[in-house]
Structure 1
């Protein structure tokens, strides 16, 4: 009887250990990307020991996934790169790509105003606010200072008073502008931005994990009539989007996003006084000072540590994720700030050997 009990316990323990190890390696490795990979770090021109140091720093943070595409091939994947999680404000750069397609087709123009688009809110816009142009919304400088969905406390505190600035006069990171862009896109195209992104961008470039069912509009009607558009996306799908931009909007010989828009949208359009590293383009962040500016880096950035950092000078895309969907995150709000993310990226770049 005793031996049978011990045997049963051993079977249970063995099973639990096996389940733990399977879960651990599934979380750690995730499902490998189907992209071609570099045969070795050394052959790709990177020092393995230096990348080990970068990996150690990554593991000291609250990061949950990171990935580098170098010269069109996977250099490394850390964490679960296949899990789709909240992309947060990276959503704005995704929408920028759709706008580029529509601007090329003439569906809309950058100088069209809120009056022409028939945009209003509650409370109603003033006559001056209605003169804000599409370009102002895309550079977060509309001068419309109203509550909006998905605002952080910091955004609410920093919001200027209504009428403080004319349209185009002042940069303020404004979710009202960004959410209204979603409304304008859907109304002017008579389509749905999630469906269009999936059909016009995700499928042509081979995104592997994106599911339209995981994307949704978040309505916060007590703040604004314009909903937020929330993307759930994996690290490796973000990397494909970054690679698309690195390739000037082309994929397998097909122009997905107009080349002129890739160039124009990722240029500095507005100074950001509160950020000494990056300025703002058309829904993209663009390095304006320091070593990353020398590399012409531009980025899609989201709350808590989400990013797609594109470095044309090195033919490199870096993706960083913090899974804010996790219960542990909901309890601790443990994020990765911009300084930490850029320090990690610098360690990775420092691992490049002279080539």
Structure 2
């Protein structure tokens, strides 16, 4: 009887803990139900490798393939680090144009383009006039999608300048100008395909996804059949959480070092200032956010995509969170996902 009694007490305590955790998210669930947070499809939170919260909304489900849009870019950074480890590239300082010599000659040749490196593409600091945040930019991704040859579209771009009312590169932190260029990241994926002599999708499956048990996914492709490393990869929420945990565990998954530890660190080092007024820096295709939580600076690394899709990695808390959303192209998409993180997740775990 004593054994049964203590088992009942133990089960009651465990159930109480689970219910307490769920109750912590009641206000979040109400705001999603009331459409204060719109078009959210999933929220998952994991700490110390333990799944603390998983809930689906608005026709979201554990089997839904979420279009992560530009969160795909952060996975491309992971794959480039693996490709360096496989000796397909010597380092991020490898020049880009030699990989695309089959596309030569190209238009508008200038020294900075000839010497352009993968470091610059990965950090969004290339010399090309390519900025998705500026509709008029020659390299805006919407213009690329109208072209049949995406590679040539990027390679032919003119040299970027800095408007006279903005600070020059030398006067900015890290000495670089941030220009968000999806086309440049497509080129990173294409380079992996050419260097490895295998399709980007097969390389990703072999080196990253299958070892992690990620078997359900869907890529977008260019007209020439190269996977779009700059956006559009569709993954389940639980598999996105695995990517976050992989970063939290410094590239190790289930006892295997899938990504070099030094590369994980390199991806998360700030290379440029992306959004100064929000205290957001940029590493190698990962956003570096600084959030003020109760007067404490909390650093959250993020894979981020249109619609408000996020994988957040917070090493200080040993926590990763996934927020998926279909609020594509709205003015509130990023703000509401970030508010979910700060007001409904981080406040629970920051001491």
TM-score range, shorter chain: 0.7 to 0.9
Q: Paired residue for 1:345? A: 341
TM-score by length of 1: 0.74
Kindly state the Cα deviation for residue 263 of structure 1 after the two structures are TM-superposed. Answer: 1.0
Q: Paired residue for 1:164? A: 161
RMSD: 3.2
Find the partner of 2:115 among 131, 141, 164: 131
Q: Paired residue for 2:260? A: 258
CA separation of 1:85 and 1:124: change in aligned 2, threshold 3 A = farther
8 Å Cα contact 2:189/2:200 also seen in 1: yes
Q: Paired residue for 2:4? A: none
Kindly state the Cα deviation for residue 92 of structure 1 after the two structures are TM-superposed. Answer: 0.7
CA separation of 1:264 and 1:123: change in aligned 2, threshold 3 A = same
CA separation of 1:242 and 1:273: change in aligned 2, threshold 3 A = closer
CA-to-aligned-CA distance 1:99-147 (integer Å, 9 cap, x gap): 1112223321211112332365864543431211110010011111158
Kindly state the Cα deviation for residue 316 of structure 1 after the two structures are TM-superposed. Answer: 1.2
Q: Map residues 1-355 of structure 1 onto 2, 5 A cutoff.
A: 43=17, 47-59=21-33, 60=35, 61=37, 62-79=39-56, 80-108=61-89, 109-118=91-100, 123-146=107-130, 154-157=133-136, 162-164=159-161, 169-207=176-214, 209-210=216-217, 214-219=218-223, 228-229=228-229, 230-274=232-276, 276-288=278-290, 290-291=292-293, 294-323=297-326, 336-346=332-342, 347-352=344-349
8 Å Cα contact 2:97/2:114 also seen in 1: yes
User: Structure 2: how far apart are the matches of 1:283 and 1:244?
Assistant: 16
User: Structure 2: how far apart are the matches of 1:180 and 1:48?
Assistant: 43
Kindly state the Cα deviation for residue 252 of structure 1 after the two structures are TM-superposed. Answer: 1.5
Match of 1:102, SS?
helix
Unmatched runs of 5 consecutive residues or more in structure 2: 1-12, 140-157, 163-168, 170-174
Unmatched runs of 5 consecutive residues or more in structure 1: 1-38
8 Å Cα contact 1:88/1:303 also seen in 2: yes
Match of 1:307, SS?
strand
User: Structure 2: how far apart are the matches of 1:306 and 1:191?
Assistant: 29
User: Structure 2: how far apart are the matches of 1:195 and 1:115?
Assistant: 24
Match of 2:198, SS?
coil
Kindly state the Cα deviation for residue 338 of structure 1 after the two structures are TM-superposed. Answer: 2.2
User: Structure 2: how far apart are the matches of 1:238 and 1:101?
Assistant: 18
Match of 1:218, SS?
coil
8 Å Cα contact 1:145/1:176 also seen in 2: no
CA-to-aligned-CA distance 1:8-33 (integer Å, 9 cap, x gap): xxxxxxxxxxxxxxxxxxxxxxxxxx
Q: Paired residue for 2:150? A: none
8 Å Cα contact 1:277/1:290 also seen in 2: no
Kindly state the Cα deviation for residue 50 of structure 1 after the two structures are TM-superposed. Answer: 3.0
Kindly state the Cα deviation for residue 309 of structure 1 after the two structures are TM-superposed. Answer: 0.3
Q: Paired residue for 2:143? A: none
TM-score by length of 2: 0.74
8 Å Cα contact 2:293/2:346 also seen in 1: no
User: Structure 1: how far apart are the matches of 2:338 and 2:109?
Assistant: 39
8 Å Cα contact 2:219/2:228 also seen in 1: no
User: Structure 1: how far apart are the matches of 2:161 and 2:350?
Assistant: 51
Kindly state the Cα deviation for residue 264 of structure 1 after the two structures are TM-superposed. Answer: 1.1
Kindly state the Cα deviation for residue 350 of structure 1 after the two structures are TM-superposed. Answer: 2.2
User: Structure 2: how far apart are the matches of 1:181 and 1:275?
Assistant: 29
8 Å Cα contact 2:176/2:272 also seen in 1: no
